[in-house]
Structure 1
């Protein structure tokens, strides 16, 4: 009769474990940060939670709901003068820089693709890295973003604002 020998299971070398942990950590960090300044695709923009956040500083807010009645995105009365409103589901921000003048821009930050969240003091704010954009033309007011928010075409008919 022979006795079965039990072989110990080899354990990975310390370097292998450290390298694997480092690679996994790097992958998580890169995924969380999104793209680069050249990435304007909005791959990591927030999507459709329900409800609506309140006004931020009295000059802007985020809206996670759908469109207004009759297929309109919103009404002119919903966009404060000197401020604006973020429409998360449509990934657009609508502003009113001066009375009766309405502009729209992508709500995807040009720095790393985060969704802008608020409008205050004449600027559109990205919470991820604190980039700020003009409500008038989408230009960068403070970085790290280096490119303006792309303009989005809208149509204002009566008091209805629709995406063109």
Structure 2
């Protein structure tokens, strides 16, 4: 597969809020760990270095998170893993109104983009209308959905 992946949307500013929130939470975790275990000297530096390395890796994954397209297919980068779907593997690209059940109640969580494979399985794309990238930009969410759908349709020709 080609290496010319592009993300058809700019990341939202909410990502930076998440990164800042995680930095504060990890700083608190580091402080609590040092206090709880009465660490000094090298112990403090080891814990701080480990937590800082985890934050850098997490920040990189948050910044890379999203859906990328190329002439070959779709690359979905999540926080923990990435996957590539070739256009020929994809039967369709659809909007899906996501709901979650909590006991007897259904809770609407907004629109997502799903990819349907030829074997009938569906793949979540990480694109969520209420997510950090599209929360205040609903037109962009629809435009990204149309871009992915149009690329899929064009690949079938």
Q: TM-score, normalised by structure 2?
A: 0.31
More helix by share: 2
Find the structure with the greater CA-based Rg: 1
Q: TM-score, normalised by structure 1?
A: 0.30
